[in-house]
Amino acid sequence: MEELTRLTLHEARRRLDAGEITSVQLTEAFLKRIKSVDSKLHAYLTVTNDLALEQAHAADAKLRQGQSKQPMLGLPIALKDVLSTKGIRTTCGSKFLENYVPPWDGTAVSRLRKAGAVFLGKTNTDEFAMGSSTENSAYGPTRNPWSLEHVPGGSSGGSAAAVAADECLAALGTDTGGSVRQPASFTGIVGLKPTYGLVSRYGLVAFASSLDQIGPLTKDVQDAALLLDAIAGHDPRDSTSAPRIAPTFAASLEENARVEGLRLGVPTEWMSEGLHPEVARSVQAAIQKFEGLGATVREIALPMSRYAIPIYYILAPAEASANLARYDGVRYGLRVGGADEIFEMLARNREAGFGPEVKRRIMLGTYALSAGYQDAYYKKAQSARTLLKEEFDRAFEQVDLIIGPTAPSPAFRLGEHANDPLAMYLEDIYTIPVNLAGLPAISLPCGFAGELPIGLQLIAPAWQEERLLGAAYRYEQATEWHKQRPKWVSAPER
């Protein structure tokens, strides 16, 4: 049964539809897999055994009746623990929400439920998605399946590790500054951050509302398209959800799988200083591969992108400081007691419930928004964000896609950035500009530095997911990187 966990979403779909396997078999294989490997990896915060089996039985009943029209019917997946799930504990990696069980599903989750998916559980995350390693989770870090000494990236590190270690077919993560793409790059899988507004944020616990997007973490590009199909599209419950009809990404993948004649831009600034030599080498090789497939490549300039991290660390904490005001122990979450009056009580709850990184962000954001500093910091960062976006607009007058690294280095060691938040912030140097400009981007496996995977990033103009997925799919078909598996988890079990 073990090899069932190696399947992709699309392979499992085919085998379920052909009656070769059942959803219960598939689900049981994953639950067994989680039991045998997750004590080492800690990808999951909550495993929903009973729910998964119940959903799998229901799916099998429908499959037997030949009602297999629901695209996700019977497919076991995992959800990052910042996604609101009805009746399933949703902690956001925070002590504050240790016992919080939401009374409702977010839109992406309810769409997956309606599409027949099986929920295996909720995955580990940096507290409120603030981080790049999962080390900021109040429940302890996740480990990288390729090397247990290394982080899986973050903040969607639990989802990424679960996919890479075959603990689910695919997973959802969220990306505010790189949290889907960077963990995908660190764990050798595919991670897609959609255009801002393509996927509803309703029921995604807010970190920085103008940047947050939900995205798929999958074993290949076809799976990313399938999962995006299931969650994309307008939602009246999210005022920032775009009122447009989402294309069907999986169905148009073959037809868009063209690189011939595509104009690719390589940002000069991203391929120079600060890039790990093995990452530079693998990304160069990938660029040549694209040229070999018929793309034309030119250098482009994105000089504003060097301000992306300072812009982000004003705007994201500013938004976070407002969004996290609701965690006070009255409306939500932890109440520690022992206080004589209201302000003391709120302060005590927040002191006990939040970890150091969340407190740091709230202080940064509150400061940037305070009277007298708002113009100097918040408004200036907003203006700079607009300039950065315009720079991308100009670049896309000359090229169809931008290509470069996802992260400046392969996975780092646990604890390596523990006392240096700025070094941790720099991990997102190539991913944050994309969120600030609201663009879609994908990370694909493109090589290794020793045993650790390396990710290639492709960025498209807004709403050009079809072009993005098509080019990614073509590259994937011409390479073998996505077929590599971590040795430790592929070793036969005793």
Summarize as ranges the residues that interact with ligand GLN (CB under 6 A): 129-132, 155, 174-179, 207, 316, 428
Phi and psi, residue 368, nearest 5°: -65, -25
In whole angstroms, how close is the CB of 207 to ligand GLN at the nearest point?
6
Q: Which is nearer to ligand GLN, 71 or 157 (CB)?
A: 157
Q: Which is nearer to ligand GLN, 60 or 135 (CB)?
A: 135
Structure tokens at 88: 């399933």
In whole angstroms, how close is the CB of 478 to ligand GLN at the nearest point?
30
Instruction: For the beta carbon of residue 494, count every other beta carbon within 10 angstroms.
Output: 4
| Residue 181 and residue 133 in contact, taking contact as beta carbons nearer than 8 Å | no
Q: Which of 133, 137, 155, 282 is catalytic?
A: 155
In whole angstroms, how close is the CB of 281 to ligand GLN at the nearest point?
25
Structure tokens at 454: 């390396």
Contacts of 331 (CB under 8 A, 6+ apart): none
Q: Which is nearer to ligand GLN, 130 or 302 (CB)?
A: 130
In whole angstroms, how close is the CB of 246 to ligand GLN at the nearest point?
22
Distance in angstroms (rounded) separating the CA atoms of residues 494 and 490: 12
Distance in angstroms (rounded) separating the CA atoms of residues 148 and 41: 7
Amino acid 17 reads D
CA–centroid distance for 115 within its chain = 21
Q: Which is nearer to ligand GLN, 55 or 176 (CB)?
A: 176
| Residue 267 and residue 302 in contact, taking contact as beta carbons nearer than 8 Å | yes
Distance in angstroms (rounded) separating the CA atoms of residues 67 and 141: 41
| Residue 214 and residue 83 in contact, taking contact as beta carbons nearer than 8 Å | yes
Task: Give yes or no: 219 in active site.
Answer: no
Q: Which is nearer to ligand GLN, 81 or 428 (CB)?
A: 428
CA–centroid distance for 255 within its chain = 26
Q: Which is nearer to ligand GLN, 130 or 300 (CB)?
A: 130
Task: Give yes or no: 389 in active site.
Answer: no
Q: Which of 110, 179, 200, 305 is catalytic?
A: 179
Distance in angstroms (rounded) separating the CA atoms of residues 132 and 411: 10
Residue 326 DSSP class? G
In whole angstroms, how close is the CB of 80 to ligand GLN at the nearest point?
10
Q: Which of 23, 68, 80, 159 is catalytic?
A: 80
| Residue 346 and residue 330 in contact, taking contact as beta carbons nearer than 8 Å | yes
Task: Give yes or no: 155 in active site.
Answer: yes
In whole angstroms, how close is the CB of 319 to ligand GLN at the nearest point?
11
What's the N-to-C CA distance of the chain in angstroms? 14
In whole angstroms, how close is the CB of 10 to ligand GLN at the nearest point?
27
Q: Which is nearer to ligand GLN, 153 or 453 (CB)?
A: 153
Helix (H) or strand (E) holding 175: strand 170-175
Nearest to 210 by CA among 427, 437, 384: 437
Please list the active-site residues: 80, 155, 179
